[in-house]
Chain A
Amino acid sequence: MQSMIRSEFRKLTTVRAPWLLLAAGPLLVVAGITGLAESGGNVHDPGTQRAAFAHTGLAAVFTLVFGILAVAGEYRHSTITDTYLSSPRRGRVVGAKLTVYALAGAVAGLASSGAALATTAAWWAARGGHLHLSAADAWLTLGGGVAANCALAAIGVGLGALIRNPAAAIATALAWFALIEGIAGQLLGPALARWLPFYATEALSRSSLSATARLLPQWGGALMLLAYTAAFAAAAVFTTLRRDVT
C-alpha cells in the first residue's frame, strides 16, 4: 500500500495537467471575491465577509474533476494496465488514490483559502472595512471550504472509478451539480434535499448558493460527503473495477 501511495504521488508530480487544474481553484476564488466587492458588497457586514470566504468551497469543483481524472484518466491512457500489473488487488489501487488525492485536494483547498483571505483583506482594506478574524465563523467557513476541496477530490476518485470514461464522468458530475440536483431537490422537498451531495457540500463549506434550502449542520455535511465517497468507491470496487482490462 505504501509503495502504491508513493507511486501515485510520483504520477501526480510528473505531469502538468493536475497542477493546472489545482491552480484554477485560487484563480476562481480571486475572481469571485473581486466580483463580490465590485458589485457593491457591503464590507462592513460580517455576512459579506462570510460570503467572500465561502468561495473557497466553490473551488472544490476543480478538485472534483482532478479526482475523476485519477482513475478515469488512467483508463483513457491505458496506463491502468501497468497499475494493475503492479498491484493486482484493485481495491488497494483505489485506496492509494483516495489517500493521495484527498491530500492533494486539501492542499489545493489550503491554497484557495489563502487566496480567499488575501483577496478579501485587500478589497476590504481598499473599501475602508476591516476583517473580522476573531470570530469562529470566519475560520469555520475557511476550514469548511478546505474540507470540501478535500472531500470532493475523494468523491471524484470514486466517481472516476465507477464511470471510467473521463468525458462521461466529468459531464455526469457537472450536470449533476449544475442541474440535476436542483431538480431532484425540488422533487424531494427541502427535508430530503439537504442529504444530496451538493447541498451537503454547501453545508460543509458554508456557502449559501441556494438560500432556500434548509442545510445540514456543517459537521453533518462533512459526514454525508464521507459517506458518498465511501459509497462511490465501494460501488466501483465491486462493479466496474472487476471488469476485464482489455
Chain B
Amino acid sequence: MPDIEVHGLTKTFGRVMAVRDLSFTAPAGKVTGLLGPNGSGKTTTLRIALGLVRPTAGEALIGGVRYGRLTRPRRVVGAMLESTGFHPGRRARDHLRVRAAADGIPPRRVDEVLGLAGLGAAARRPVRQFSLGMRQRLGLAAAMLGDPQVLILDEPANGLDPAGIAWLRGTLRDLAREGRTIVVASHVLGEVTRTVDHVVIVSAGELRFAGPLSDIGETHAALESAFLNLTAAPN
C-alpha cells in the first residue's frame, strides 16, 4: 500500500504563505492525524496532495507519484474535503452513480457504501433535505466508493452524531488494519487521541511535530498541552 510523502511543500496565495517548506510522511497501515489551528495550512496541503491546488514549490506524492499522474485515481485515493459539494436537487444515490460512472466502478458498490454509511433509507432523497451529518456520511460513502488504498479526509467528524463518530472511528481503524493509508485533518483533539497512531502538527504553514502519537502522550490532556505549546505564536 502506498505512503503519502510531502517534500518541501510551499504554497503562497498572493502575499499569504499558506504552507511553508512542509515535509512529512503518512505511512501505510496507520491513521495519521494532520493537526493544526484554523488557517494553519492543513486543507491547502490536502488539496495539493489531491492535485486541486498547484504548489509554489515542493511536491506531494502518493506511492511515489503525483495525484495527477495516477491512471485510475479514485481506485487509489478516496477523499472527502470540507467543500466537496453536492447538487442540492440530486438524490444521494444518484450522486454516487454519477461518480461510479466516472470512475468505472460497478453499480452494486453504490448501494454497498450507502449501507456502510448508514444512508440506505435516505438513498432516494435529494441532498437538499440532508442534515450536515447526513451530508458528511454521504461524503464518506463517496470517499470509500472506489475501495481506495489511501483515504484523505478533511474534518470528517464535523456534524456527525455520537453514533456516527463511533462508526467513523471503527471504520478508520479497520481500514488502517488492512494496511491502508489514512490521513485525517482535524482540530478536534479529543477524537484524535482515540483514532490516530501518527501525528503531524502544523502551525502557520510550518511543521511543528511529526511522529507517533505515543511520543507526545496518548491522553487528551497530554495531546492538548503539547498541541498548544507547539502551535503557540513564537513570541
Contacts and interface: CB of A to CB of B under 8 A. Distances in A.
Contacts, number: 85
Contacts of B99: 7, 82, 86
Interface stretch (A10-18, A43-51, A135-143, A145-153): A10-18
B74 A86 contact: yes
A14 B94 contact: yes
Interface in B60-116: 67-68, 70, 73-74, 77, 79, 81, 83-91, 94-95, 97-99, 101-104
A242 B52 CA distance: 9
B120 interface: no
A81 B90 contact: no
Contact of B102 (A4, A17, A77, A89): A4
A6 B87 CA distance: 18
A214 B103 CA distance: 49
B104 A3 contact: yes
- Interface size classification for chain A: 20 to 34
A244 interface: yes
A88 B142 CA distance: 17
Nearest to B126: A15
Given A14-B97, A15-B90, A84 B102 contact: no
Given A77-B85, A81-B52, A86 B90 contact: no
A85 B50 contact: yes
Interface in A76-102: 77-89
B171 to A, nearest CB: 20
A10 B101 contact: yes
B85 A15 contact: no
Nearest to B85: A78
Given A88-B73, A246-B47, A17 B89 contact: yes
A211 interface: no
A245 interface: yes
Contacts of B83: 78, 81, 246
6 contacts: A7-B101, A14-B95, A15-B90, A82-B84, A85-B73, A245-B53
